[in-house]
Amino acid sequence: MINRVVVLGSLNVDTTLHIDQMPKPGETISAKSKTNSAGGKGANQAVAAVRSGAVISFIGQVGDDGNGKFMIDALENDGINTDHVAVDKVEGTGSAVILLDSQGQNSIMVYGGANQAMKPAMMVDAEPLIENADILISEFETPQDVTYEAFKLAKQHGVTTILNPAPAAEIIDGLLEVTDLIVPNETESASLTGIEVTDNDSMDRNAEKFAQMGIDNLIITVGSRGAYYHTADGSGFVPAFKVKAKDTTAAGDTFIGAFSSKVNKDLSNVEEALTYAQQASSITVQRLGALPSIPTEKEINAEYK
């Protein structure tokens, strides 16, 4: 089975500054080197999914500039349908500055630009695309009201919706009611529920809180430890694969994209899909950059099978 996945999300050109350690407040430091690459949570997730065998279409927006063309070309180079990537004549293409230290940890500053200028009315033209999908993914680097409109259409057509609430923000009314699966990391989960993620018991309590909020299916990613899941069929924890990280940029996005390429619409194989997603992200963190670091299914299978 090949999943048809639509990603509604951000398109950013990433500038990564390679440094020894994070600067302290008021401190000026020198970067060892600088790299530019295609990125954005939406783009990362779409590329991760298509490289793992899914058929991908993208809904997003870029500026009328060179970076916009660069991002569209980057998606199309991976065989992603960009028919629903609009061009904004006012706002510039989204961008991000990433500080990457010698331990592989990062801090990211994002300029939303054209991503944040998207409007709910844009989803009218996208309905036929959504209707023919198996899975629709969105994050919080584009406006939530746009995601809400898209998810409502998805539910009308029996499409499974996956929400990645990153960066963490208060969720608008109604969005969780049309979300089938929410995938925060531990920090985002705690921000949304008020319950710190420290162990399995606290993750169970996060799941209970999300259920009270209207969402029964949950995955919490906890970095190098692994991922917790809770669905109608049960809950559990899938440990991460131990590797030495060079750059954690796009690791979480690789996880979600790879997961979406393998999970069944009814989430019945969630543990199997999570294991594959962990394998994919374990390769990503051993490489530099966002899109350039995301592995193919062939590379994942060669490493782990």
Q: Is 222 annotated as a binding residue?
A: yes
134 to 63, 182, 208: CA distances (angstroms): 29, 16, 27
Q: Is 40 annotated as a binding residue?
A: yes
Q: Is 289 annotated as a binding residue?
A: yes
Q: Is 198 annotated as a binding residue?
A: no
Find out whether 81 and 46 touch, Cβ atoms under 8 Å: no
Q: Is 287 annotated as a binding residue?
A: yes
Q: Is 78 annotated as a binding residue?
A: no
Beta pairing partners, 63 = 88
Q: Is 247 annotated as a binding residue?
A: yes
CA atoms within 13 A on the CB side of 99: 12
Q: Is 223 annotated as a binding residue?
A: yes
Which helix (H) or strand (E) segment holds residue 287: the answer is none
Q: Is 14 annotated as a binding residue?
A: yes
Q: Is 33 annotated as a binding residue?
A: no
Q: Is 141 annotated as a binding residue?
A: yes
The residue with tokens 């904004």 is: 88
* 33-39/12-18 β-pairing: antiparallel
Beta-carbon contacts of 85 under 8 Å, excluding residues fewer than 6 positions away, are 11, 58, 59, 60, 61, 62, 71, 72, 75
Q: Is 147 annotated as a binding residue?
A: no
Q: Is 249 annotated as a binding residue?
A: yes
Q: Is 44 annotated as a binding residue?
A: yes
Q: Alpha-carbon Rg of the chain, whole angstroms?
A: 18
What does the chain come to in residues? 305
Q: Is 68 annotated as a binding residue?
A: no
What residues are annotated to the active site? 253
Helix (H, G, I), strand (E, B) or coil at 2: coil
Which token pair is 287? 């490489």
Cβ atoms within 10 Å, residue 78: 18
Q: Is 224 annotated as a binding residue?
A: yes
DSSP state of 172: P
Which token pair is 77? 């180079």
Question: Residue 27: exposed, middle, or buried by beta-carbon count in 10 A (0-12, 13-18, 19+)?
Answer: exposed
- Exposure class string for 241-273: b at 16+ Cβ within 10 A, else e: beeebbbbbbbbbbbbbbbbbbbeeebeebeeb
Nearest-angstrom CA–CA distance, 128 and 6:
11
Q: Is 221 annotated as a binding residue?
A: yes
| Binding-site residue set for substrate | 12-14, 40-44, 141, 253
| Binding-site residue set for ATP | 185, 221-226, 252-253
| Binding-site residue set for K(+) | 247, 249, 284, 287, 289, 293
| Binding-site residue set | 12-14, 40-44, 141, 185, 221-226, 247, 249, 252-253, 284, 287, 289, 293
